[in-house]
Amino acid sequence: FCDGGWKIRSSVNAVEKLIEYNRDVRRDSKKKKEKEPPKIATSTFVAPSLIYLARRTNSTAPSAFTSAFWVCPTGTGKSRFMSASVGKIPFSVPRWMVHINLNNFLDQDTFLLCGQHRAVLKREAEGYLQMDNGNAKENKPNNRLPVRIGQFFDATLARVPNRKEALLAWYKQNSNNNILFEPWPSREEVLDRYEQHTKICPDSMGLVKKCDKVKVGSKLVGLAMIFMKMVVKSGVSTMAATTASVMTNQSMIGTTRQILSQSTSVMSSFAHRIIAYLLQGKNFYSILALMALSYSIASRIKKEFFFKFDDELHREDIKFIAKNWVDL
């Protein structure tokens, strides 16, 4: 993914995290697991903004599937999240399906991170004030990974143009006696998928427009079917084709007119046959059901690119996680 910047990698052996019932249902038999050694989960941070994750047989072996995340700063306390996945699969997954899955994943934690980032910015601003006053304190955690990352950010954040000034201005404006009183953003504002993703993503925006076309088209077809059912008599079946007259001793113009008339009659008869077939009981209700299903699917897909993760859905998601992913 990236060759620039220094790297730091952490590895941990895979452990069972499903409760016993779900583990037995979702996993293969114990005999198969005993034959295959557990994968090693590896996380790699590449300065300044890349993180990629994979499961490997050892810390440096190739992986069948890798996920990568770029967290790119766009302002003080603001970042743009980008991601990519590389896997050995026999087909290409549509990008909009990946975006839906990723948005559902991000919405689980983003609102929590919104509160954490306020606390982190507060500590950073207080660190600048302590440095200016000559009272800086050095924390020495025991874990090497946060030590190295902390040293990297200590050495780089203050050198970002205008960051220190903007952060101190924000802190002085929104704090009193080291307590932040800045208004807490709403869930709708933080998790607004349209503003943060859809309108700046050509793939997602194109899909939303296609969903609108499907919704309009399914409505028009459904209404047209109902209108024809109301207007056309139920007993209409087919129309008899016009009989052909003997073309003898006629001029070329007359012959041409007769051919055109016959063609129009045949086309009209064919159209009436199709309409009569479509308006039959089973066919009629099948088309209406298909249009309703198309409208429903297009609406559900479109909703995935707007605000979705409200308080009720959040509570249901927490219950699901607690039920299915309890640590042993």
pLDDT of 324 over the 90 cut: no
Confidence (pLDDT) at 243: 37
Residues 6+ apart with CB under 8 A from 284: 225, 229, 278
Angle between helices 163-174 and 110-132 (to 10 degrees): 100
Taking the C-alpha atoms of residue 97 and residue 92, their distance in angstroms, rounded to an integer, is: 11
- The per-residue pLDDT for 204 is 93
| Structure tokens, 261 | 């008339």
Burial annotation 62-87 (CB, 10 A radius, 16+ → b, else e): ebeebebbbeeeeebbeeeeebebee
Question: In 3D, which of 309, 316, 71, 314 has the Cα closest to residue 192?
Answer: 309
pLDDT digits (tens, 9 = 90+) for 99-152: 998 899 889 888 888 878 888 888 888 888 877 666 655 555 556 666 777 777
Q: Which two tokens stand for residue 285?
A: 């209700």
Q: Is the pLDDT of residue 4 over 80?
A: no
pLDDT for the residue 142:
56
From CA 134, how far away is CA 222, in angstroms rounded? 74
Q: Which of 135-149, 212-226, 277-291, 298-312 has the lowest mean pLDDT?
A: 135-149
Mean pLDDT of 241-256: 44
CB 91 within 8 A of CB 114: no
Q: What's this model's pTM, rounded to 2 decimal places?
A: 0.69
Contact 5, 48 (CB under 8 A): yes
Picking from 237, 239, 241, the residue whose alpha carbon sits closest to that of residue 279 is 237
* 175-197: average pLDDT: 84
Average pLDDT, the chain: 76
